[in-house]
Amino acid sequence: MSVSDAEHPVDETSVNHSSNHSSSDEDALAELRNLLFGVEQRQLRQIQERLEDPKLRAEDLGKVLAEAVVLQTLQENEQLTEAMVPTIESAIQASVKKDLTVIADAIFPVIGPASRRAIATALEATLQSLNQALENSLTPQSFAWRLEALQTGKSFAEVVLLRTLLYRVEQVFLIHKETSLLLHHVAAPGVETLDADLVSAMLKAIQDFVRDSFNTSSGDSLDTLRFGELTIWIEQGPQAVLAGVIRGNAPYELRIVFQQAIEKIHQAQGKALADFQGNAAVFEASHADLEDCLRSRYRHKKQGNTAYAWAAMGVLLLALGIFGFFGFRARQRWATYLEQLKAEPGIVVIEAKRGWRKYFISGLRDPLAVDPDQLLQPVGINPQAVVSQWEPYLSFDSELAATRVKDLLKPPANVSLSLDEDGVLHMSGTAPRAWIAEAQQLAQFIPGVAQVEVSDLIETEVELESIQRQIEDQILQFQEGEAAIAPNQDESLQTLVEQIKRLTTLAAAFNQTVQVEAIGRANNNGSEAQKLALSQSRADAIVALLTSAGIEPESLTAQGIGTSNPLQNQSGISTVEINRSVSFKVSLTDEASSEISNP
């Protein structure tokens, strides 16, 4: 400003002077002017030059432009922004028209996160509706998952995803896009890998092959290869691609992990990627990013598997337990049965074995032995399950021989038979003479009987006579003039009752009936008629007593004979006493003849 202020008066002066003076004056003035304003004039010229030279002006403007834009922005003046919009828009359009990849490469790291956020929002909504849909379903599986969701605190849908998506990333390749050379490679532990350099090149070749072969549009790329349960995911970046080899069913989230990895690698090593000349050592730095991609969800699968395995094992053990228990019990029962059979007389087990569901048994059996089938039910074996074959034989077992003896000899009720171990048949009791003779003869032919011992056997006929005699020897006494039995005669009466009963039983064996006649007597006191009446009363009284003691009335008769047939003195009892009495007369008659004589 100082320059122009100074210049102005000088100019005026020069104009005023030039109209009045000569040219020499002008020169002098010019010189004076030069002397006075020489420096300023040079500066003026420079300024003029700068203003007229566009290159210099651009340089100047460039120096202050950034500052000017910042100042404008700070003043919140939107004019500048609005003014710049059309230019920037057309600049971008021009750039895209010229080379799409420049912009694409520049915004690549931004696009991933932005689109992921949008997708995540959409996915969340989908998950929620999926959640509802699943919550409405009532399958047993959904109950199990719901239980797991409760236990783990995860959402139900998350559990469903976990249960359905199981995978393992086995290898990750970082491949240079231009040269298809391998930049870095990581593999999960225990994964067998072929030469990664070659695999990397081949992967790239396959991508090229697909692109060239199927006329795809230029921006497209092969991003998934699937072979059985093996999937190869290829994540494209501008300079490099990331290829993950996944076994199983990988979830969408994994794709995001891959995308983030390739983005991070581009951010960190963009320059190294662009300048790559074949030396991959620098990409060792991407190791962590690649390793982060080696994810797996085996754990959940294993848990599920072990749960099922445990359940299956449990069921198996239970089944084995039940099977074992029943097997054990069946063996026990069979053993018990065999034990019992062997203890049975007349049964010889030769062979016994267990089949799959049947038992087989064979041996010898005496017809008199117990039926083996009858022993099955009590020990709990189904008779239908037993196939048995018994050959008949004759057992010399003493018990069976005794049974056989009884069957053959048919001994009378009061005969007891016993066969000792030496085969001696002991008979005791009372039997008719004829039976004894027959039995003695028969017994010799019975197997198992070696000898017959009959010394304890009494012939019925002998006993019969003996008892008859004993009854007839009985005298029941009475007091003088009394028709009731003397008080001290109870015992004798009792004996008499037993004797009559025994006699009746023995006689029955010979088909004979017993008739006991009570004969009443009196001594010499009183008239004949009185004596007769008293003696009759005494006989009647005894018959009544015997009847009440259980003797059949038909086999009893009473008769008073007074003094007509007095008893003779006996063993110190006076004749008077002995004839105040009742004595007995026994007669045995064949049943047939008695029936004839009765009517």
- Sole window of 83-91, 98-106, 196-204, 442-450 interacting with other proteins (rule: CB under 8 A): 196-204
Taking CB under 8 A as the rule, does residue 389 contact other proteins?
no
For other proteins, give the closer residue by CB, 158 or 197. Answer: 197
Residue keyed to tokens 């009475």: 478
- With CB under 8 A as the rule, give the number of residues binding other proteins: 24
| Burial state string for 343-369 with b = 16 or more CB within 10 A and e = fewer than 16 | ebbbbbbeebeeeeeebebebbbbebb
The C-alpha atoms of residue 41 and residue 44 are separated, in whole angstroms, by: 5
Candidate residues 191, 206, 330, 493; the one interacting with other proteins per rule CB under 8 A: 206
Taking CB under 8 A as the rule, does residue 219 contact other proteins?
no
Q: Please tell me what DSSP assigns to residue 511.
A: T
Closest separation between CB of residue 61 and other proteins, Å? 40
The pair of structure tokens assigned to 585 is 């007369």
Candidate residues 33, 211, 301, 354; the one interacting with other proteins per rule CB under 8 A: 211
Residue 499: HSE in the Cβ half-sphere, 13 Å Cα cutoff:
22
Candidate residues 10, 127, 165, 202; the one interacting with other proteins per rule CB under 8 A: 202
Q: Are 256 and 117 in contact (CB under 8 A)?
A: no
Element (H, E) at 254: helix 252-274
Closest separation between CB of residue 233 and other proteins, Å? 20
Taking CB under 8 A as the rule, does residue 191 contact other proteins?
no
Taking CB under 8 A as the rule, does residue 472 contact other proteins?
no
The C-alpha atoms of residue 564 and residue 265 are separated, in whole angstroms, by: 158
Kindly list the strands in the beta sheet with 224-227, ordered across the sheet, starting from the edge strand earlier in the chain: 182-187, 167-176, 240-248, 230-236, 224-227
Closest separation between CB of residue 224 and other proteins, Å? 18
Helix axis angle for 78-98 and 100-136, nearest 10°, is 100
Taking CB under 8 A as the rule, does residue 181 contact other proteins?
yes
Q: How far is CA 203 from CA 207, 261, 304, 516, in A?
A: 6, 19, 35, 134
For other proteins, give the closer residue by CB, 188 or 206. Answer: 206
Taking CB under 8 A as the rule, does residue 201 contact other proteins?
yes
Closest separation between CB of residue 168 and other proteins, Å? 23
Taking CB under 8 A as the rule, does residue 281 contact other proteins?
yes
- Sole window of 55-63, 123-131, 272-280, 298-306 interacting with other proteins (rule: CB under 8 A): 272-280
Taking CB under 8 A as the rule, does residue 194 contact other proteins?
yes
- Sole window of 102-110, 274-282, 466-474, 479-487 interacting with other proteins (rule: CB under 8 A): 274-282
Taking CB under 8 A as the rule, does residue 218 contact other proteins?
no
For other proteins, give the closer residue by CB, 283 or 435. Answer: 283
Q: How far is CA 34 from CA 22, 126, 274, in A?
A: 19, 87, 61
Taking CB under 8 A as the rule, does residue 212 contact other proteins?
yes
Taking CB under 8 A as the rule, does residue 236 contact other proteins?
no
The C-alpha atoms of residue 158 and residue 127 are separated, in whole angstroms, by: 8
Kindly list the strands in the beta sheet with 359-365, ordered across the sheet, starting from the edge strand earlier in the chain: 347-354, 359-365, 386-392
Q: Are 446 and 403 in contact (CB under 8 A)?
A: no
Closest separation between CB of residue 218 and other proteins, Å? 12
For other proteins, give the closer residue by CB, 107 or 198. Answer: 198
For other proteins, give the closer residue by CB, 81 or 279. Answer: 279
Closest separation between CB of residue 194 and other proteins, Å? 6
For other proteins, give the closer residue by CB, 239 or 296. Answer: 239
Q: Are 29 and 14 in contact (CB under 8 A)?
A: yes
The residue count for the chain? 599
Taking CB under 8 A as the rule, does residue 272 contact other proteins?
no
For other proteins, give the closer residue by CB, 270 or 526. Answer: 270
End-to-end CA distance of the chain: 191
Best CA proximity match to 43, nearest among 13, 2, 8: 2
Taking CB under 8 A as the rule, does residue 180 contact other proteins?
yes
Candidate residues 166, 170, 172, 176; the one interacting with other proteins per rule CB under 8 A: 176
The pair of structure tokens assigned to 442 is 């028969």
Burial of 226 (0-12, 13-18, 19+ CB in 10 A): exposed
Q: How far is CA 42 from the centre of its chain?
A: 110
Candidate residues 280, 330, 338, 364; the one interacting with other proteins per rule CB under 8 A: 280
For other proteins, give the closer residue by CB, 280 or 544. Answer: 280
Candidate residues 277, 374, 455, 488; the one interacting with other proteins per rule CB under 8 A: 277
For other proteins, give the closer residue by CB, 183 or 546. Answer: 183
Residue keyed to tokens 């982060």: 292
Where do contacts with other proteins occur on this chain (CB under 8 A)? 176-182, 194-195, 197-198, 201-202, 205-206, 208-209, 211-212, 277-281
